[in-house]
């Protein structure tokens, strides 16, 4: 999931560089959402791993 976040971030940067504002903002928004989902899943995995290991 982090891979797709980085892909959308690169697409947003390239689109912004070439002046495609709409595509850049959409890609940046998708990257933000994917990153937030990644962080939530990472924290849940970390908590369950700590509970199971204890």
Going from N- to C-terminal start, the domains of the chain cover 2-53
- In this predicted structure, the answer to whether residue 1 has a pLDDT above a threshold of 80 is no
Q: What is the mean pLDDT of the chain?
A: 89
Q: Answer left, alpha or beta for residue 19, where phi above 0 means left and psi between -120 and 50 means alpha.
A: left
Q: How many helices (H) and strands (E) does the chain have?
A: 2, 0
Q: What is the pLDDT of residue 45?
A: 94
Could you tell me the pLDDT band of residue 54, with boundaries at 50, 70 and 90? low
pLDDT digits (tens, 9 = 90+) for 18-44: 888 888 889 899 999 999 999 999 999
Q: What is the pLDDT of residue 5?
A: 84
| 6 and 27 Cβ atoms separated by less than 8 Å | no
């Amino acid at each position: 999931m982090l891979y797709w976040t980085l892909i959308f971030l690169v697409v947003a940067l390239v689109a912004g560089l070439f002046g495609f504002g709409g595509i850049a903002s959409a890609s940046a928004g998708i990257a933000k959402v994917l990153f937030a989902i990644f962080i939530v899943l990472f924290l849940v995995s970390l908590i369950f791993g700590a509970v199971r290991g204890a």
